[in-house]
Structure 1
């Protein structure tokens, strides 16, 4: 009965034992009430956020949606991240198992022959044994529970890291897709300009043959034509390379990418809600992952503190042993043992204390990483908001400039045909118009890339 009471006390102590180390509490973070780039009417409705929207509601292009869906299934980075989650789940199971007793079974049969002596003749024995053993390291100080807490936090960090990879892949696919559409638009502009300049060369040659033009005019018109022609091979190269980028994001071998829309046809909203700055802490996967690693570092302090205290282990074994198989489970063949062991570190050369200092310093580092990640997130949202707004303004002005440059080409050609201007005027206005159209295409691209960057900065894109 005395042994049973001691065993009961040990079990209860293990069940209700304390946990060493501090319980986790989120560090106090100073967050602004709103973003400086928001207008007063937007600040009044800042509870909503673009980051809460699903990616298919933000990117309404059917071709882009199809590419993103394929990337989410086949992208290697996402698949690697998923395998890391499975690894973290296994680590939790391995760590948690230390809290429970180990029970094992065994069986043995041994045949021994002792040589003859002056007193006895040869002796031959064949003992057989079956047994069941138990070993239990009591988690009285919460060492294993803190280790399990750290492993679970690492699992959550890995899961949030997987979501961060998903968000990054969605943004990368959208970015590459818009860049591909912009290159298509540049190719369209260059091809149209080349055809126009070929026609201009033909007309100038006719004027030179008729005596109303000069050979200089012919050479200058050819210069314009060759400039447009030289841009096409470079654009073809960049288009093929951008298709290869998208193919790799989709988990394919390099190949062509289907698209049916032009860049200007892709929808873009004039303004987007940014939401409350504090909501980024809950929405951005990188911040969540960093916080979970902070939770794990905090739990490891408890593991390090528990190592200073006595470790209590219970052991037990029971079974049967006999020299004859027929009497293995009968008579006095049964046996059992029970024991308890306590081990207290006395002198470790400062190892335990240094390990505690290490875990405390690691937690302090993770706190700084967490605070830095939040500040970086605020900066990214702020930069993206101002980029989105100013890119829209720039695109509007660039559109007006392009319209004026195109009309200037029409007027210059009319003046040259009427004989009141040289071809140099046509050359200058045509070059400016071509550059303006290319700049407008690039401005439209930057406007869409700013939307992608803002969506990613607000923590969107990983939602299933």
Structure 2
């Protein structure tokens, strides 16, 4: 090959390598309404970081520990490294690899008269082996698909990170709620213990009968059984939280105060559905759609000729010691190879059909991801007002039961009411207080779910 033609050949290769057979990409329309059913007119805002949303110092400590030690999150991070390496391999295929070679050949030459002699040949050189001139963008499309898969894996890590933060927060709230319910159960046990002692004195004085004393004893045992059950649930909840944090046996700070003191940064109800585009799982679905689009381009390029280039330049000598002495012969090789598909039993067409079908599947998966996200956010927003209304009603019920118990105790002490009336008031107050704590836990969990379904921490647009 003439030397003046080499730059032109390289320029043409680079120019044609910029071609692409990928179909034009356009984002599918989101198959959801523009607003959520419970959306209002407030401006949408969302915390830039989870620290701005979860302000409890102990909860922040636990989340930080979980982000550093949770094994599932570590696996997701390693998946990112795997996808990054895969993209690096595909991207490297777009550039020629220059390799150094060294070889030794010993052969026997036989002539017609029966004469023969041995020939030793030593070779060293550098060259390019099997580099594909990407005229129709096949390698470029494969590299683009690998890049989009890498981006999708990054978004999957963000999804896992947001889910872990929400799970730790929900587990922490569960521990706090069980601690408060356990404290209420112990208060009930103390009250029933005092009631049992009072009835015992009254029975000894002939004011109450043995049935009332036995009933009070049974209620005291019931309260102690409730404490044992709540202690078991509390221990299991602590174990679950420690597992999420990635540190079994991790000490938890003692909870102070009720769930009323546990607050998160408020999020308004006026949230347009377009905010779902910020969810990492939806962004990951779109990256997968772009990867499927690039794979179609690679499948189309398979119908066109593939040109591979192999070159080598080096030195040849019969003696190893003289290989670099200046007496060696210069050798070079230039081997372009053209491969044109003629008949392969429809393999290329089937690969193209497969790539198109996979893109259609990915479109449907993208649309389903949007609809699922819309449904999740709608469920959280719709249940928020109902939970608040339930808490308000249950608070009034608990206050009424508390007043009823106070009056029942006065009536019982004055001999106006029997023990069954006092017992019913105690049981009613215990149940209403337990339900109120559970509703407060549900409200906090709802706020955690809202943080999660909106995609967690917002990234810049």
Please give the TM-score of this superposition, normalised by the length of structure 1: 0.93
Q: Which residue is equivalent to 1:392?
A: 388
**CA distance in 2: counterparts of 1:250 and 1:140, whole angstroms:** 52
| SS of structure 1 residue aligned to 2:227 | helix
On the 8 A contact 2:53/2:265 being kept in 1, the answer is no
Output aligned runs, 1:199-278, within 5 Å: 199-262=194-257, 263-268=259-264, 272-278=268-274
Q: Which residue is equivalent to 2:49?
A: 54
- 1:91-129 deviations in Å (ceiling 9; x for gaps): 011011111112211122345678999854x73433211
**CA distance in 2: counterparts of 1:11 and 1:315, whole angstroms:** 17
Change over 3 Å in CA distance of 1:115–1:140 after alignment to 2: closer
**CA distance in 2: counterparts of 1:91 and 1:274, whole angstroms:** 42
- Within the alignment, does 1:380 sit opposite 2:381 as a pair? no
Output aligned runs, 1:37-436, within 5 Å: 37-39=38-40, 43=41, 45-46=42-43, 48-50=44-46, 52-110=47-105, 119-120=114-115, 123-135=117-129, 136-262=131-257, 263-268=259-264, 272-281=268-277, 283-325=278-320, 327-329=322-324, 330-331=326-327, 333-436=329-432
| SS of structure 2 residue aligned to 1:347 | coil
| SS of structure 2 residue aligned to 1:123 | strand
Change over 3 Å in CA distance of 1:323–1:332 after alignment to 2: closer
| SS of structure 2 residue aligned to 1:132 | strand
**CA distance in 2: counterparts of 1:344 and 1:391, whole angstroms:** 68
- 1:61-91 deviations in Å (ceiling 9; x for gaps): 1110111111111111111111111111110
Q: Which residue is equivalent to 1:440?
A: 436
**CA distance in 2: counterparts of 1:370 and 1:259, whole angstroms:** 44
- 1:26-66 deviations in Å (ceiling 9; x for gaps): 11224433222134xxx2x33x233x442111111111011
Change over 3 Å in CA distance of 1:186–1:463 after alignment to 2: farther
**CA distance in 2: counterparts of 1:369 and 1:174, whole angstroms:** 29
Q: Which residue is equivalent to 2:27?
A: 26
The number of residue pairs the alignment matches comes to 456
| SS of structure 2 residue aligned to 1:340 | strand
- 1:306-327 deviations in Å (ceiling 9; x for gaps): 1011001122121111113454
Give the Å deviation of 1:235: 1.1
**CA distance in 2: counterparts of 1:341 and 1:269, whole angstroms:** 65
| SS of structure 2 residue aligned to 1:134 | strand
Q: Which residue is equivalent to 2:453?
A: 457
Mark the runs of 5 or more structure 2 residues left unpaired by the alignment. Answer: none
Give the Å deviation of 1:387: 1.7
Deviates more, 1:27-36 or 1:88-97: 27-36
| SS of structure 1 residue aligned to 2:343 | coil
Give the Å deviation of 1:393: 1.3
Please give the TM-score of this superposition, normalised by the length of structure 2: 0.93
- Within the alignment, does 1:15 sit opposite 2:7 as a pair? no
**CA distance in 1: counterparts of 2:377 and 2:59, whole angstroms:** 24
| SS of structure 1 residue aligned to 2:93 | helix
**CA distance in 2: counterparts of 1:103 and 1:317, whole angstroms:** 9
| SS of structure 1 residue aligned to 2:310 | strand
**CA distance in 2: counterparts of 1:305 and 1:402, whole angstroms:** 70
Q: Which residue is equivalent to 2:5?
A: 5
Two-structure CA RMSD over aligned residues (Å): 2.3
**CA distance in 2: counterparts of 1:205 and 1:332, whole angstroms:** 116
On the 8 A contact 2:312/2:334 being kept in 1, the answer is yes
**CA distance in 2: counterparts of 1:116 and 1:315, whole angstroms:** 33
| SS of structure 1 residue aligned to 2:445 | helix
